[in-house]
Chain A
Amino acid sequence: MNTQFDAIVIGSGITGGWAAKELTQQGLKVLMIERGRAIEHIRDYTNENKAPWEMPYHGFGDASVIKRDYHVQSQGRHFDEWTQDHFVKDSEHPYQTDPDAPFNWIRGYQLGGRSLMWGRQSYRWSDLDFAANRHDGHGVNWPIRYPDIAPWYDHVERFIGVSGSQEGLMQLPDGQFQPPMQLNVVEQHAKRKIEAALPDRKLIIGRVANLTEAKEGRGVCQNRSICARGCSYGAYFSTQSSTLPAARATGNLTLLTGQLVQKILYDKRSNRATGVMSYDAATKRGAHYSARMIFLCAGSFNSVGVLLRSADGDFPQGLANRSGTLGRYIMDHANTLAAVGPVPGFDDRTSFGNRPTGIVIPRFRNITAADAGFLRGYSYQGGAFQRGWVRGASGPGIGQDLKTNMRRPGPWYFAMVAFVECLPRKENQITLDPQAKDSEGQAQLRIRVRFGDNERTAMADAAAEARKMMQAMGASTDLSFNEPGTPGTSIHEMGGARMGEDPSQSVVDRHNRAHDMPNLFITDGACMSSSSCVNPSLTYMALTARAASFAAAELKAGRM
């Protein structure tokens, strides 16, 4: 096969797919390299339509295998027996942590990466977020602001399809939305009560990359809420349903799966990245591919890992790391179950269908003035639901009484999960472990991330405010946690190759281009300089599309 391309895209997940789509549509010949196996849309969603009784373990999975091979991955909300094959085996892809700093690194190594089983929540950042580092001095100043990225949010939303409501909130900008999904009867009640009692907040439907209107060969969401199995309707955004078909349609894409990029090659004379060295785990053969530019989209930590492993005489601390910041300022949203409890008065109501999103209560702290004992903010996701048959296992009850009770729709509950912005801290770092190797013989990543006092103070406030809101809607609170869960659990890990204006303080510039060489772009979550308190994937996509447009223009202008 041809080994010379205009661009190499490393990774095929949410950002890799976007880079491939945008660059091929600009006429560039693109090689997209994915380390995992191929999963073709529809054909390879092998468990999608199976009923629980058609699964070997009724959908719960083989507990002994999960304990042995998936002890971290199974912490993810979308992991089950149907989706198990969309997650890595922890036993095959280990990483190192310290006992005082556990980290849940949840991953999927396959074509489409985590786009296959992501949470699909899609939110714009506001200037409250992009200006936060400058405002309070934590982290490096973002060299971009909302107007720089707003047209790219438009571009991405129109293509992927995001359903949501227009709310006019400055902290959560509106977008190019498809019609919103609906609040259920109890959420409608909660919205009325919370907004009346606490006028500084809103309860809105989650903005989600599931279609409520068909588009471009993709069908509308069927309200199954089994997205992570893969969706033959193409109703949620994934590489397979959206960006890959678009890239393939150009005739400009070459796709390789099962090829692990070990190293990005660098030429000192031209000061350019010249290509990649890859390794095929099945054939045990190495390969070398060349390109005029590289888009590194391997997922935040693996992108940092590739750069660290690409260290050479010119970059002894990792490629594109003259700043010394590569691998530092790692973040993940601190999250916890801020409150959950029963909502009385709705036993005569139920709903039909499995809506694939919940509610959001956008940030209300530190919006127009510093009004809390911590910096930045938090938001909630969750919603009202009826407890299912599993409640029958949580207390006494057997026989016909149990059966009769479980037959009826269960009691309504309301849950609020708080997502707290994580400050960028230099000491939160990923490095290469000096001893431990992975199954491919590469140095394992060592991850050290801990939340700090600001996250803990904000989390305690989030829990207290959640209880207030439960009270406002007439609900009681059964459980309410003040402390964040293990870092990584939000699956929003980001940072490590942060964006900034100053080459001595950051890895990439305002166009996601490495300060240290003009043809290397890092556009996944590694580029993030702060974390906001909303889900980051939409921002990764917008930054990738923006960077691809810039890179293609530079190439065409002969400046690459």
Chain B
Amino acid sequence: MVRVAFTSGFARRYTGGVREFEVEAKNLRGVLKAMDALFPGLGEHLEEETTVAINGEYHETGYFQVVPPDAEVFFIPRIEGG
């Protein structure tokens, strides 16, 4: 299982305030699909609006990123550039 977490602001907007989830996934595509199944449309928001930290390592939110078993996947907002 993979632990998925959001900042409070993101959770407020998209997941009814719930900040943590557990999903089955081997890569980030799997995480996005699992979250989209729970909240239709959320996958696209995550893809377009976030940066992701997998076990603390920062990555762009790309499908190919490997998610190890029992990993923590944390989505944080993209920086605003104007």
Whether both chains belong to one complex is answered with no
Interface residues of B (CB under 8 A from A): none
